[in-house]
Every structure is written in C-alpha cells, then in structure tokens.
Structure 1
C-alpha cells in the first residue's frame, strides 16, 4: 500500500498558499509557514533556503492545483450545447473562485502574478497552460463558427479572470448576466 500523505515540500507549499492568502506578500515568511504547517521552527528554511525558493515552490504548487482542477472540470464537462450552457458553467466556476478553497488559491495567485513582474522565473511558471477546461471553450467557439477561437478563448477567459479579480478586491459576485455578455462578445 502506498503512503498517500503529501511530502514535506507539498505540505510547506500548501501552508505558504494559506499564509499568502491570509497575510499577503509581506506576511509570507519561513516562520509563518512553519506555524501554519504546524511544524517546528526552521523546517521551511531547511527545505527552501531563501524566500525566493519558497515563493517559487508556492507558485509551482498553485499551478499544479489549478491545472488539476481545470483538467478535471474539462474532462467532466461536455462541450456546451449553447451559449447559455457555457455561461452557466463559467459563472459556476467564478463562484468557486470567489469562495472557499478557490478564494484562498485565487488570492495567492493574484499576489504571485503581481510579484512576477519583478521575477521572470515566476512569470514563466504562471504562463497560462493548455488544459481540458480551455479546450472545451475553444471547441465550443469553433463549433459555433468563430474563426479565431483560440484567440477569442484567451480573451474571454482573461475577461472572466478580470471579473473574479474585481470581485475579490471590491466584493460582490460575478453574475451570469456579466458572463453572458462576455460569451456573446466572444461569439460575435
């Protein structure tokens, strides 16, 4: 039987995500990660000697978690039959990004995106990747006759991401009406 407990580096990266989402970039310290992970002082610095090494591990973990989630969504979701179905799916995804586990990771991701302006290696890790969720949108737009479906998908998903960012900063929910407007624009 395989041991299914996460390795120590994963535990520390997950704790770092929690610290970053709760305390911001200034609060992300080795000591804070040790406390959050419930590990002895010095554990984080033994695995990640520098703050940059800790931040890189955190970003890699965020991307891995996001990619796994997007892959699972895409595999479990057939290509939408119409714009309303795509709108409902994107609205549900936004709702998850604004609450619970999704909120924590999204706050950390945005903080890392800002930090990546000063650290090219983080920017490289955060580059949007191909996944089943993105392919589902591309397939839908292609089926609807959109010639530049790849580009429109990127624009649509970037706009959706912007709505999520706005609601995290300013409060409120992303509405189906807002998402519907973005989907309609992508279809034009």
Structure 2
C-alpha cells in the first residue's frame, strides 16, 4: 500500500469532514472527492474508524509541521512579537486550508469524546512553538510557566473556535490582551 495514496486519502478526508461534517465522512464521499474509483478508500482504510484515525493522525502531523515552521520564522523577544506570532497562527487557522483543518480538528475533538483512541492522538504535543511560549513566560518571571502556557494556548484555541462558529476577524488587541494576561 502506497504511503502517498494513504496521505492523499487522509488529506481528502480532512476536506470531506470540513465540508460535510462527521456524518458526511464516508468511504464513498472520500472516493468521490479524491476522484478515485469506488472502493479505493475502503481498500486502504477498511473501517470508518480506521479512516477517522488516519485523518486525525494527518491533522496532527500537519499542525505540528505548521507550528514548527512558524516558530522557526518568528523570534520571541518581547510581548509584541509573541502576540504577532500568535495572531499569525490564528489567522492561518481561520483562512484557506487552515480553516478547513480547524473545522475538521474541532469535529474530531468532539468525536474523540466517544473514542478515546482519537483523544490520545489529539492530545497537544510538545513542539518548538509551545516551548518558545513557555520559555518566554519563564524568562519574564511568570510563576508556573508551563501551566500558564497551556492556559494561554487554550484561550487562543477558544478564540479560533469562536471565530469559526460566529465569524469575524481576530483583532491584534485581542491577542495582545491574552498575552498581557498570561504575563500577569
């Protein structure tokens, strides 16, 4: 079985999930969206759970790659730079492919409440971006920087969710306020 085909199917499944929701995620829907013969997806992922697991693994891999790339480009020397980096991430997650992945990620998060194996995959991972936030907070004398990092990033995640559901743009002042709160 081709790894490239599996990746293509997982990427297509992300799009199907973002466009059609959990109920619309079927092997046939992925076959149609990928423009592949009927039965192709089920040949690679025999069950719906296998397809969903592959989709979640791919989401996590794409998210980790995005965070690693962003952290390499953005130094974090002061609160303004941290806020700018977080704002760039939020905007990336609210537009284009990032929006589709965010919609799929939240659908998978809800689904993971019924499927603990998905929850294990979705657990936030350590990465260079998360560590940069933690290091920044520690360098600025924040007590319990790991816990404060989790709180800050959870608030950012909630902001992304709110904008996906309710619409609207993210204002720089909102992100700066979250960073300022984390530093208190």
User: RMSD of the alignment, in Å?
Assistant: 1.1
Runs of 5+ unmatched residues, structure 1: none
Q: CA deviation at 1:76?
A: 2.3
Q: After the TM superposition, which residues 82-97 of structure 1 pair with which residues of structure 2 at under 5 Å, given as runs?
A: 82-97=78-93
For the pair 1:152 / 2:131, whether they are aligned, the reply is: no
Deviations along 1:6-45, one digit per CA (max 9) or x if unpaired, are 6111110000000000010011000000011111000001
CA distance in 2, matches of 1:86, 1:29: 40
Q: CA deviation at 1:77?
A: 2.0
CA distance in 1, matches of 2:73, 2:146: 21
Matched with 2:59 is 62
Of residues 73, 77, 81, the one that matches 1:81 is 77
For the pair 1:11 / 2:16, whether they are aligned, the reply is: no
Runs of 5+ unmatched residues, structure 2: none
Runs of 4+ in 1 over 4 A off after TM superposition: none
> Is the deviation greater in 171-180 or in 52-61?
171-180
TM-score norm. by structure 2 comes to 0.96
For the pair 1:176 / 2:175, whether they are aligned, the reply is: no
How many residues align? The count is 183
Q: After the TM superposition, which residues 32-47 of structure 1 pair with which residues of structure 2 at under 5 Å, given as runs?
A: 32-47=29-44
CA distance in 2, matches of 1:6, 1:14: 12
Of residues 23, 27, 48, the one that matches 2:24 is 27
1:117 is paired with a residue whose SS is coil
Of residues 102, 106, 110, the one that matches 2:102 is 106
For the pair 1:124 / 2:120, whether they are aligned, the reply is: yes
Of residues 161, 175, 179, the one that matches 2:157 is 161
